[in-house]
Amino acid sequence: MKRMLSVVGARPNFMKVAPIASELRNSPDIQHFLVHSGQHYDENLSGSFFAELDLPKPDVNLEVGSGSHAVQTAEIMRRLEPVLLDWRPQIVLVVGDVNTTLAAAVTAAKLGIDVAHVEAGLRSFDLTMPEEINRKLTDSISTLLFVTEQSGVNNLKREGVAEEKIFLVGNVMIDCLLRHREAAAGSRILDRLGVRHDGSRCLPYAVLTLHRPSNVEEARTLQGILSAVSSLATDLPVFFPVHPRTRKQIADFGFECYLADPGNSHRGLIPLDPLGYLDFLSLNAQASLVLTDSGGVQEETTILGVPCLTLRENTERPATVEQGTNQVVGVDPDRILASARSVLNNPQQEHRCPPLWDGKAAQRIVQILNGHLQCV
């Protein structure tokens, strides 16, 4: 029996691994181990996702917790190495671009273990982003590169990666969304927030997510974003599930004045605790507009057909702009507000589903993994 080990650590990882883990249950010749680094350890950022996504309980939780990029990456490597030495998988699967991704890939590669990278090839071309560094380094040491969109294939070829290592398979984030869309429709989040009436009709509202260090750790940038969105929130409520890092920065900078009373769901920029996957999917699916700095949310809104404004100067997911509902608007407050009001005043948008975003990416990945493991 072949042994494969997947490593997850942060909220987006769980959504990407869940469809693959499910598909691997149909491959009895592969023994699949799951390791949780503990990079995200808050229940709403981690624990609830395993139950909602039907992810198996991790075989090991490294319980790394928070820390600087260097400390967190090094600690994951230190704790993961004995696990790999003990279990000796033939391949280690990593997903996305977080510190867990890079740490696991480097640890496996140094032990001579093949690495498969899901969501390979995405590039923002901005090396000030820690995620861009993680992406490029992980790709450079991976054996199998599973790509979500054509831009990723083009980027890897441009970087000199051998064509036989590159596989355009589609998007496992979309697999996850399509598998859980019906369950998310049964979420009561909209009733709890007071925006759903007459059974299914919703009052207009927007959603904000904000977590990237470049947006939340520099006071002027964070203040500009909050100022613009709170101005928008005079037109319609904006729900803001607040990442723990962002909540701390808002408090440290004294920016609570931009937030509405959490008990008032009818006006203002309304802070919420982090949401589970199904509640968050339900909230985004009915929104008039989503503002975000998250790559995964750009992808999800493309499939949901919901207008999305990306609060960054770039995106590593150009398919969401070229074919989806996403616009990259940066962090200038005036541009954010003008773009948001333009979308709300002109809600009809043409969009297409990017190729292979059809809910079958995990099937393609597992088929390729099966073939690869037969040869090692």
User: Mind telling me the catalytic residues?
Assistant: 211
Q: Are 317 and 298 in contact (CB under 8 A)?
A: yes
Q: Take residue 272 and report the two structure tokens written for it.
A: 């919420």
The whole-angstrom separation of Cα 178 and Cα 184 is: 10
Q: Write down the residue that tokens 């831009």 correspond to.
A: 151
Helix axes 130-140, 99-110, angle to 10 degrees: 20
Q: Are 80 and 87 in contact (CB under 8 A)?
A: no
Strands 144-147 and 166-168: parallel
Those residues with Cβ within 8 angstroms of residue 193's Cβ, 6 or more apart along the chain or in another chain: 205, 239, 265, 270, 283
Residue 365 one-letter amino acid = I
Q: Take residue 250 and report the two structure tokens written for it.
A: 């808002």
Could you tell me the CA-to-CA distances from 50 to 14, 45, 53, 64, 119 in Å, in that order?
A: 7, 10, 5, 18, 20
Q: What is the DSSP letter of 313?
A: S
Q: Are 292 and 326 in contact (CB under 8 A)?
A: no
Q: Are 299 and 174 in contact (CB under 8 A)?
A: yes
**289-292, strands of its sheet edge to edge:** 269-272, 238-241, 206-208, 289-292, 308-310, 326-328
- C-beta atoms surrounding 193 within 10 Å: 19
Nearest alpha carbon to residue 109 among 80, 133, 129, 132: 80
